[in-house]
Structure 1
Amino acid sequence: MQQGLSINAMRVGLRYKLVNYGEVYEFEILQRINDNNFLLKDLYTLEQYEIHDLVRFGRGDDFEIREM
């Protein structure tokens, strides 16, 4: 069961925390690529990647997105 926000409810310029399969990611959304994909900037490493990279192996039981 998904908790928090859905991916398509996220907005450019805002910061989010995503938990999936025990991994925690904190990022800012830089650009909307399409309805279900965004370009992100990791808040700690400053690396840029797409949200699809974080969910490409599926959504775990702990999947959650929260605005920071």
Structure 2
Amino acid sequence: MLQLQKLARKLYGLTKHVDVKYHFIREVLEDKRLQLAKIHTIENPTDLLTKGLPSKRFAHCRALMGIG
């Protein structure tokens, strides 16, 4: 039982920051201080930085970023 209590204390220390960040983000969205928009993968230029792409798609992402 003592080991479970130690583990619970350790896990709480690791997860409480996640809870705080989650609630902060939720409050920011509810207060409309930040607006999120879904970007379809076809129009997401950051794919250029995160994925291996076929040459046509690579050129399209470069154009979206203004470097093509």
Higher helix share: 2
Q: Which has the higher contact order (CA 8 A, sep 6+)?
A: 1
- Bin of the TM-score, shorter chain as denominator length: under 0.3
